[in-house]
Amino acid sequence: MSKPEFIDLHSHFVFGLDDGARDLDETLAMVDQAASLNIKQLLATPHATDLTDDVFSDQLLRRFRFVKSEIEKAGIPVKLSLAAELFFSKRILEWFHYPWTTFDNNLRYLLFELPLYDLPDDVGDLIFQCRLKGITPILAHPERYVYLHDKLSKLYTWFQQGCLIQINAGSVTGQFGASIQNVALNLIKGRFVHFIASDAHETERRSYKTLIEARSELRRIVDEETLDALFYANPKKALNGETIKSGEVKDDFFAPRSEQLKRWVKFIKRRLFS
């Protein structure tokens, strides 16, 4: 079987803008690692906070162009695109004139994150406003927001509004603990998830290697077609501004455990006695 290809929609390889790569050497090491793992395209997603202004935007654009030319000079065969990881704020709606708000400025997809510890009130409103503009928001790593773990119906509401879901590869491999891993795997099994991305910050622990590890881990629970969609085909569509079909969430995803158990008992009885 040929080596799987990847397109990564979320990582912090552009140096000096956030908590990702610290200098050009680290940027080059990260992108070189991505190339060696058969990652064909990287979307730069530096953190954009609600302090975003023209100065930040100019710095981001200049730094990305510089990094791109250095990577071309070094002959590393990875295609680079630009966006940002937009920290949740009503101000996101004021940023659409910046060419990094949507993926490669395609005005179709953007990546946003929520605060790690508090659920904001008006996430649904932001999703609605984006959809009015024809933009599909992608929520970064919902499994990492522990406050959502017992409120997955919130996530379902956003999903129904047209928000797509990106899970971190490190969550799948257990890098952030068992409960986050559990939620990540359940969301994938429940067909909630559209993308798996590295959220790489460096070349060791939070690196592109987690993508490869997550893909092989997931072979236990999903088929090859789904793996290709999660790690390659859907990211490619998002970068090209093409429509991504949302799968049907499994019917019993929100059924209480007792209901799920009853269904299993019924299923087993039928298999044994029919």
Beta carbon nearer to Fe ion, 19 or 242: 19
Q: Hunting for tokens 């996430």 — which residue is that?
A: 123
Is 45 in contact with 86 (CB distance < 8 Å)? no
- Least Å distance, CB 10 to Fe ion, is 6
Point out which span in 79-87, 123-131, 202-210, 238-246 binds Fe ion (CB under 5 A). Answer: 79-87
User: 57 vs 166, which CB is nearer to Fe ion?
Assistant: 166
Cβ-based nearer residue to Fe ion, 85 or 104: 85
Q: Using the rule CB under 5 A, is 85 a contact of Fe ion?
A: yes
Q: How far is the CB of 197 from Fe ion (least distance, A)?
A: 8
Instruction: Return the closest-CA partner of residue 115 out of 55, 179, 198, 50.
Output: 50
Q: Does residue 202 belong to the site contacting Fe ion (CB under 5 A)?
A: no
Distance CA 74, CA 24 (A): 12
Burial of 82 (0-12, 13-18, 19+ CB in 10 A): buried
The owner of tokens 């508090």 is 118
At 36, list the tokens: 């060696």
Residue among 85 and 143 whose Cβ is closer to Fe ion: 85
Query: For Fe ion, which is the closer residue by CB, 199 or 202?
Result: 199
Q: Which stretch binds Fe ion (CB under 5 A): 77-85, 94-102, 177-185, 222-230?
A: 77-85
Burial tier of 52 (Cβ tally within 10 Å: 0-12, 13-18, 19+): buried
Residue 3 φ then ψ, to 5°: -65, 130
How many other CB atoms sit within 10 Å of the CB of residue 233?
A: 17
Which C-beta is closer to Fe ion: that of 47 or that of 189? 47
Closest approach of Cβ 224 to Fe ion, in Å?
Answer: 27
CB contact set of 83 (below 8 Å; sequence gap of 6+): 43, 44, 45, 100, 101, 102, 103, 104, 110, 111
8 binds Fe ion (CB under 5 A): no
In the bound complex, what is the minimum distance in angstroms from residue 95's beta carbon to Fe ion?
Answer: 17
Q: How far is the CB of 12 from Fe ion (least distance, A)?
A: 6
In the chain, the amino acid numbered 221 is: I
Q: Burial, 44: exposed, middle or buried (Cβ in 10 Å; 0-12, 13-18, 19+)?
A: buried
Q: Considering the complex, what minimum distance in angstroms separates the CB of residue 62 from Fe ion?
A: 21
Under rule CB under 5 A, residue 143 binds Fe ion: no
User: Which residue, judged by CB position, is nearest to Fe ion in the bound state?
Assistant: 199
Cα distance between residue 214 and residue 196, in whole Å:
9
Q: In the complex with Fe ion, which residue's Cβ is closer, 8 or 85?
A: 85
Q: How far is the CB of 268 from Fe ion (least distance, A)?
A: 42
Work out which of 136, 199, 232, 244 binds Fe ion, going by CB under 5 A. Answer: 199
DSSP, collapsed to helix, strand or coil, labels residue 252 as: coil
Minimum distance from CB of 59 to Fe ion (Å)? 18
Between 143 and 199, whose beta carbon lies closer to Fe ion? Answer: 199
User: Is the C-alpha dihedral spanning 73, 102, 203, 26 positive or negative?
Assistant: positive
Residues of this chain that interact with Fe ion (CB under 5 A) are 85, 199
